[in-house]
Amino acid sequence: MSEKITLVNGKLNVPNKVIIPFIEGDGIGKDITEPTQKIVDAAVEKSYGSKRKIDWYEVLAGEKSFKQNGEWLPQATLDAFSEYIVGIKGPLTTPIGGGIRSLNVALRQTLDLYVCLRPIRWFKGVPSPVRYPSRVDMHIFRENTEDIYAGIEFMTGTPEAEKFKQLMEENFGLEKVRFPDSTSIGIKPISKEGSERLVRAAMLYAIERKLPSVTLVHKGNIMKFTEGAFKNWGYELVENEFASQTFSWKQYEAIASEKGIDAAKEALKKAELEGKVIVKDVITDAFLQESLLHPFSYSVIATMNLNGDYISDQLAAMVGGIGISPGANINYNSGFAIFEATHGTAPNIAGTGKANPSSLILSAAMLLEYIGWKEAAEHIYDALEHTFTKRRVTSDLHALMEGATLLTTNEFANEVIRNIH
């Protein structure tokens, strides 16, 4: 009989026959969800025979839910994700109309899923705009609960904006505001607690996977007490909690100023040879350039919400675009995790067989890794790569590949399953 995942002493306890809740999703969600589940089932069977199995449990959200019961995101769905701990979702339409929050944001906030994890890895055969895509292997840890996404914004001319203006005038002066009478205002909350838990998660991930570096990406030269503080809190956390496993840029600078640059270089080299995680920081605009020119210099990237948003799409484009890049929203303390396709509902191609299911397939592989079923995840990665190298692809990649064979969503999924077997 299938059972729930539970959390025992801070660790996931995963039964061999496990229930995983899923949201089918709107638009192409319907096209990509079932093929993804079939691929996962095939990979689990190939890896563990009849010993392990996923029992998929559908929960409602989005248009399908609204049509059935008048609710975009029923409480029962939120309850299911917290009861079963780990789940997966297709893309959801953002409902248009006053007072309705994005369903994705509501799910992230309710379960306090503070990490948005995006692995950026190239699969052989996939067209890429960078020269050495095989050297791209990055893992973005984007903070998911703070920053300007908190939604604290006041439109100029509203009583709220006026009140805020008055508050500023009385306490801080308005000299720095260029056009005070027509200014809208937004607030950017960045906390020590929020920054620390994000950087901690990135560090633990890098250490567990023996990855070479963690880079804090920030615009602290301009936003000193938000993004600059994120950087400082990050370095402090590393010093306090991970000193023996790391070598940080702060240490490099200290050695350089005390003993000279050669000694600092020597210390860095020694730390690399000892397998220590190198912790460094880069200003966001420089990072956007550097990650394109020298992607192999970056491994784990820890950053705040808005930077993370921009960075995720640029890095995804380097390895084939959002159609094939996976994602997860995770709270590493409670264990709650929702894996998801990173693209939207693509209403322009829904139901046509053109959707590329790879983003959801790879998100499902991440889910398997997260619950410790690594062999099944590896089967999926191998089979996908094999399918891409044979140039048997859906229409998005077909348009970019010479001599490729065009497959529908289902044909592509069947090809992946054949390659698993």
Enumerate binding residues for ligand NAI (CB under 6 A).
28, 91-94, 104, 323, 340, 343-346, 348-349, 355-356, 359, 396
What residues act catalytically?
Answer: 149, 219, 285, 309
HSE at residue 221, side-chain half, CA atoms within 13 A, is 7
3-state secondary structure 356-384: CCHHHHHHHHHHHHHCCCHHHHHHHHHHH
Residue tagged 């996908």 (tokens) = 384
Which residue, 117 or 349, has its beta carbon nearer to ligand NAI? 349
DSSP 390: T
Shortest Cβ distance from residue 324 to ligand NAI (Å)?
A: 8
Alpha helices in 174-326 (DSSP H): 192-208, 227-241, 249-259, 261-273, 284-293, 305-318
Cβ proximity to ligand NAI, 33 vs 93, nearer residue: 93
User: At closest approach, how far in Å is the CB of 247 from ligand NAI?
Assistant: 37
CB of 69 to ligand NAI, least distance (A): 20
Return the closest-CA partner of residue 164 out of 190, 149, 184: 184
Cβ 369 to ligand NAI shortest distance, Å:
20
Closest CA to 41 of 53, 49, 51, 33: 53
Nearer to ligand NAI, 18 or 355 (CB): 355
Nearer to ligand NAI, 276 or 392 (CB): 392
Q: How many residues does the chain have?
A: 421
Give least dist CB 406 to ligand NAI, A.
Answer: 13
Question: By C-beta, is 62 or 234 nearer to ligand NAI?
Answer: 62
Pairing relationship of beta strands 213-218 and 300-303 according to DSSP bridges: parallel
Identify the DSSP state of 124: T
Residue nearest to ligand NAI (CB): 344
